[in-house]
Structure formats: C-alpha cells, structure tokens
Amino acid sequence: MPKFDNLWGTGQSTIDGILRATADLIAGKNFVVIGFGHCGRGVALRAKGLGARRVIICEVNPHRALTAALEGFDVLPMIEAAEVGDIFVTATGNISAIRAEHMEKMRSGVTLCNTGHFNVEINIPDLERLSVGKRELRPLVDEYTLKDGRKIYLLAQGRLVNLACAEGHPSEVMDMSFSDQALAVEWIVKNKEPLSKMGSVVLDIPKEIDKTVAQLKCKAMNLKLDVLTPEQEAYLSGWTEGTV
C-alpha cells in the first residue's frame, strides 16, 4: 500500500506544492525529475499530464532508467539536464542530487525543489557559496542571485515541497497506508510469541493484509472485480498443464 501514497500521493501533492508556491505554468516547461522510484515516477506522470514540454528523468539505476525511457520519458545525466531544465524536483532519498556543478550550468530563472528526503538532496551550501545575494521573493520561495547575475529559485528551503508548500497527500490515498500500518500492528500483537523468538529481523507484512486493504478500498470506490472460476484457480496453482 505505501506504493499508492508514494506514487499517486507524492505525484499530486508535489505538483500542488510547486503551484501554490510559485503560481508558475507547468505546460511548455522542461521538467526534470531526479530519481525514478515511486515518488519520482508519480511526479513525472503528473508533470507530463499537465503538458510539460519535456519530462526528463535522471537516474543511477539502469532498471529504473530503462523503465522511464519505455514509459516515454527522456533520460539524461543530471549534468546535461541541468542545461535545459526549467523546474527541477529531487526524489532520490540521497544527498547532493543537485550540487554546484549542476547549478553552474543552469539557466537563469530555474526552480529547484525536493520531494524525496530531508533538505540535503539539494546542496544548499553549494548554492549559498555560488550566490552573491538572497531574498525571499514570496513565502517559501528564496531567490538566489549568482555571481554572474543568474537567478535560481529554491522552494521550501530545500525541504519537502509537498508538505511545506501544500498539504501533503490526499486522505483518499493515505487511508490505505494507515490501514496497512494498523493491521500490521494488530498482526504483530497477535503473533508476538513466535515473532519474539526471531530476534531483530525485518519482515514483510503478510500479503493477506495488503489484499484485505485493497479489497476494502475497491469496495469503497464501488469497483467491481471479476472472480476466478475453480478451473482457473486450479490452473494457476499448478504447473503441469501446458508444459507436459
């Protein structure tokens, strides 16, 4: 269930935060997303849907880069994306996804923001060092003037833009994650004896919990599903039919 809030929740709330903070138009812009996990993919999908001219993905993981390319996004290293981007969103969970070498290549007027982690994904000390002036242009929008006169706009001091500039994820998507968490706690309490003998381990919650939450959400949304016939269930649970 966390996939749902990271993909659709972060995607929507990040765009919401950017628009509330800047009132900028997404359509026609080159929109750069650094990181193509669930969060980055959600942001990229929303930017594409709002008419961004190009949605560019920067990745270090070949599987994610390939996924982005096959979903119709451009894939470039950040050093190249820095030269063409208008809006940059970090979603990596790592430090210095945007740093001095990238800032030095950016066009004047670009917007930087983060939706992945703490205020370390954009290297703010680098930005401060490259700048000769700073002013708060509007709430949670800081304008940095670089030594050559270019302007870079940083949202929410590099903190999570969807929380600082907007209201976070809609309740319609967070209800699934919270339900998962509540049922997982219940499962732990009910199984505390066998679990206590396992020591310090990381466990996946039972798939049945995810299935239960998904079924309840489908019911709440009035989604009607097909049901497997006994023959179909038997086919899926076996391996010999069609192979021998």
| Domain annotation for the chain: domains and CATH numbers | 2-164 (3.40.50.720), 171-237 (no CATH)
Q: Average pLDDT by consecutive 10-residue portion of the chain (244 residues)?
A: 84 97 97 97 98 98 98 98 98 98 98 95 98 97 98 98 95 91 93 87 89 94 96 87 64
Q: Which of 86, 85, 3, 84 minimizes the C-alpha distance to 40?
A: 3
pLDDT of residue 244: 58
pTM for this entry: 0.91
Q: Which of 143, 118, 121, 141 minimizes the C-alpha distance to 131?
A: 143
47 phi/psi in degrees, rounded to 5: -65, -40
pLDDT of residue 117: 86
Question: Is there a contact between 161 and 17 (Cβ–Cβ < 8 Å)?
Answer: yes
pLDDT of residue 238: 85
**CB contact burial 155-176 (16+ within 10 A = b; e otherwise):** bbebbbbbebbbebbeeebebb
pLDDT of residue 2: 62
Q: Which two tokens stand for residue 60?
A: 């270090």
Give 165's DSSP letter: S
